[in-house]
């Protein structure tokens, strides 16, 4: 009787639900006669599940249709399980704000209804850990829930790095995300055969030069790349030239135009070197002066005038810098006023030999205090001739007045250059010496220049003496140096006995060295030194790829400064 009452109550509940929303659908399907079977089945499985079935009228209506004629307990349980799974899947995608927005057994987490977990509802499968705060099943709560080398991130176990060593070769650890990404911080982060460069692993290339080393190639500056793989060629800007030294190479500003010359002072010519980085100073010889970048010979006579010199007749050239012989006066002739005058056959008595006019014979004033004597028909003036050397009083003989006058030279020794410091007032020119006392041991003063005697190198006490001596020997004087070790002149970084040797002094190399052609394209050098103390003044001993030479830096050749190391 109690069972009947329960079934009756249940039947009324179902009928009420059908009447409120499902009757029309049931009628349309024409599945009459199956309601009792549905009531029996749902009553047996939905007991106590009122909340779950609330609002699921459509699903149960479908079940009524499906279960028409099905009266076994197995079919009824299967249909009910399918309904429950479908209901659960639908409910878990429902958005929510609070737990009350979800059905029973669920909680609101992350804006979605999720199945709740707890002691009575343990977690299984991939989501095997119950988060006590969120009350849902997750992959992990702490790192202890994960495997070795994994960390718990947002409820899931995953690998997290904290150093580059945790990553594979060619990767680095991104500390912000805790993940391995492509790239590197140091060479050790890269695979073998690669290095870290600008945060990326790149192949290691052969090194052919020292990183950032420099050298010259023509007028191009070569800079070795940071990895030593190659030189980068950089043309030197206009007005600069590539210059190499033991410290490296650089594009240096030229101080003059190569091959040109200018006047350093009134007596010294400055010749620009081939690279435009330096100048060689050359003293104008023969008392010449420097003007407009050219050494000009000193004026020694009145332009185009006739004069006597040494008893012979000469004519001065148009520039006044040289004389040309006009006539050699014979024994019976005398030069007067630039002409050879015969004294033969001119007399029978002394009255036929009047006094001759006073004239200049070079810087010697020639005068006659009386007429000559007639000797064998020839006038003889030797007894009345008077020769006065004007130079002895610091004067010159003026052809125009035939008298000794003060020198018209406007120069003083303050005007003389460093390599010709003395003033010859008569010639009005600066010279290195006026007498032998101004020269070094074993030298003599010749033409204002100290010249050494005899076949070896000239004796010297300073470079100026060597420059003057080189010019006197037919050289240019460039590089002429006084070796203070031997007190002898030689040409800097040059020797004889090998190709290219052009030392005008024919100086020998220091003991223990020999003269050989430069291996670097420069001048010949003394080779075989072991230290700079063995070299001559102004030279340094360089080790050039195994060969040692005494040289200055300018004579090493285009690549010498890069390849040679001073000892």
The pLDDT, as a whole number, for residue 496 is 65
Cα distance between residue 389 and residue 403, in whole Å: 10
Q: Do 432 and 397 meet the contact criterion of CB atoms below 8 Å apart?
A: no
Contacts of 559 (CB under 8 A, 6+ apart): 215, 216, 244, 520, 521
The pLDDT, as a whole number, for residue 463 is 76
Q: Would you list the DSSP string of 240-272? A: EEEEEETTEEEEEE-SS-TT-EEEEETTEEEEE
Contacts of 269 (CB under 8 A, 6+ apart): 261, 262, 263, 281, 282, 283, 284, 290, 293, 294, 295
Q: Do 239 and 253 meet the contact criterion of CB atoms below 8 Å apart?
A: yes
The pLDDT, as a whole number, for residue 346 is 67
Which residues sit opposite 283 in a β-bridge? 268
Q: Would you list the DSSP string of 365-394? A: EEEESS--EEETTEEE-TTTEEEEEGGGGT
Cα distance between residue 520 and residue 126, in whole Å: 78
pTM of the model: 0.28
Residue whose tokens read 């009386």: 370
Which residues sit opposite 95 in a β-bridge? 112
The pLDDT, as a whole number, for residue 249 is 93
Cα distance between residue 468 and residue 447, in whole Å: 11
The pLDDT, as a whole number, for residue 345 is 65
CA 251 and chain centroid, separation: 8
3-class DSSP state for residue 195?
A: strand
- Compute, in degrees rounded to 10, the torsion defined by CA atoms 544, 546, 550, 555: -20
Cα distance between residue 76 and residue 317, in whole Å: 146
Q: What is the pLDDT along the chain (567 residues), one digit of tens a residue?
A: 434 433 443 444 444 444 444 433 333 333 333 333 333 333 333 333 433 433 343 344 334 334 433 333 334 443 443 444 444 444 445 689 998 999 988 999 888 998 899 887 889 888 889 988 888 999 898 888 888 778 888 888 888 888 888 888 888 888 877 888 888 888 888 888 888 888 888 888 788 898 999 999 999 999 998 888 899 999 999 999 999 988 899 999 999 998 899 998 888 899 999 889 899 998 888 667 888 888 887 777 888 888 888 888 998 888 777 889 999 988 778 888 788 888 776 688 888 888 888 888 877 888 888 888 888 778 888 888 888 888 788 788 888 888 888 877 767 777 777 667 787 776 777 877 777 667 766 666 766 777 664 333 356 767 777 777 777 666 777 778 887 777 678 887 777 655 455 667 767 788 888 887 765 555 677 888 888 888 888 888 888 878 888 887 777 666 666 778 888
3-class DSSP state for residue 427?
A: coil
What is the number of alpha carbons within 13 Å of residue 25 lying toward its C-beta?
Answer: 15
CA 291 and chain centroid, separation: 40
The pLDDT, as a whole number, for residue 452 is 61
What are the tokens at 443? 């030298």
What is the helix, strand, coil percentage profile of the chain, to 5?
Answer: 20, 30, 45
Cα distance between residue 504 and residue 521, in whole Å: 21
Give the DSSP H or E segment for 201. Answer: strand 200-203
The pLDDT, as a whole number, for residue 42 is 38
b/e sequence 142-155, b meaning 16+ C-beta within 10 Å: eeeebeeeebbbeb
Contacts of 508 (CB under 8 A, 6+ apart): 457, 495
Longest Cα–Cα distance of the chain, Å, equals 206
Cα distance between residue 247 and residue 261, in whole Å: 30
Cα angle for residues 239, 245, 248 (degrees, 5° grid) = 90
What are the tokens at 54? 């609330």
What are the tokens at 448? 């204002």
């Amino acid at each position: 009787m109690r069972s009947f009452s329960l079934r009756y109550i249940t039947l009324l509940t179902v009928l009420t639900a059908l009447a409120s929303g499902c009757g029309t659908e049931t009628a349309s399907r024409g599945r009459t006669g199956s309601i009792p079977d549905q009531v029996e089945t749902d009553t047996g499985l939905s007991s106590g599940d009122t909340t779950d079935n609330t609002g699921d009228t459509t699903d149960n209506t479908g079940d009524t249709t499906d279960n028409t004629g099905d009266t076994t307990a197995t079919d009824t349980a299967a249909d009910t399980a399918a309904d429950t799974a479908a209901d659960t899947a639908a409910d878990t995608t429902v958005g929510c704000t609070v737990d009350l927005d979800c059905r029973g057994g669920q909680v609101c987490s992350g804006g979605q209804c999720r199945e709740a977990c707890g002691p009575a509802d343990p977690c299984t499968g991939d989501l095997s850990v119950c988060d006590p705060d969120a009350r849902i099943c997750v992959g992990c709560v702490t790192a202890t829930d994960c495997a070795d080398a994994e960390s718990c991130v947002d409820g899931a176990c995953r690998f997290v790095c904290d150093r580059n060593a945790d990553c594979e070769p060619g990767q680095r650890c991104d500390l912000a995300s805790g993940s391995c990404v492509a790239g590197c911080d140091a060479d050790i982060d890269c695979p073998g055969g690669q290095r870290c460069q600008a945060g990326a692993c790149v192949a290691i290339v052969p090194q052919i030069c020292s990183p950032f080393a420099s050298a010259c190639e023509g007028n191009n500056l070569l800079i070795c790349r940071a990895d030593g793989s190659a030189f980068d060629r950089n043309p030197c800007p206009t007005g600069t030239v590539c210059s190499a030294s033991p410290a490296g190479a650089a594009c240096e500003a030229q101080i003059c135009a190569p091959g040109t010359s200018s006047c350093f002072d009134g007596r010294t010519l400055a010749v620009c070197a081939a690279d435009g980085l330096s100048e060689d100073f050359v003293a104008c010889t023969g008392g010449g002066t420097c003007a407009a970048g050219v050494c000009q010979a000193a004026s020694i006579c009145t332009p185009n005038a006739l004069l006597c010199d040494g008893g012979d007749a000469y004519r001065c050239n148009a520039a006044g810098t040289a004389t040309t012989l006009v006539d050699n006066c014979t024994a019976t002739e005398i030069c007067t006023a630039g002409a050879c005058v015969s004294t033969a056959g001119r007399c029978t008595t002394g009255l036929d030999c009047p006094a001759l006019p006073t004239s200049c014979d070079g810087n010697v004033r020639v005068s006659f205090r009386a007429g000559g004597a007639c000797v064998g028909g020839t006038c003889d003036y030797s007894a009345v001739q008077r020769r006065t050397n004007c130079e002895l009083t610091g004067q010159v003989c003026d052809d125009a007045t035939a008298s000794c006058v003060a020198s018209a030279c406007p120069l003083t020794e303050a005007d003389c250059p460093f390599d010709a410091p003395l003033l010859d007032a008569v010639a009005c020119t600066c010279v290195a010496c006026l007498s032998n006392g101004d020269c070094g041991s074993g030298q003599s003063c010749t033409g204002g220049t100290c010249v050494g005697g005899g076949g070896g190198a000239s004796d010297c006490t300073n470079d100026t003496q060597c420059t003057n001596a080189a010019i006197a020997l037919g050289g240019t004087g460039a590089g002429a140096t006084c070796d203070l070790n031997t007190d002898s002149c030689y040409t800097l970084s040059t020797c004889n006995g090998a190709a290219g040797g052009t030392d005008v002094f024919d100086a020998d190399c220091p003991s223990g060295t020999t003269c050989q052609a430069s291996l670097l394209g420069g001048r010949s050098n003394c080779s075989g030194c072991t230290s700079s103390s063995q070299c001559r003044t102004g030279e340094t001993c360089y080790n050039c790829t195994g060969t040692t030479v005494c040289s200055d830096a300018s004579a090493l050749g285009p690549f010498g400064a890069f390849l040679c190391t001073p000892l």
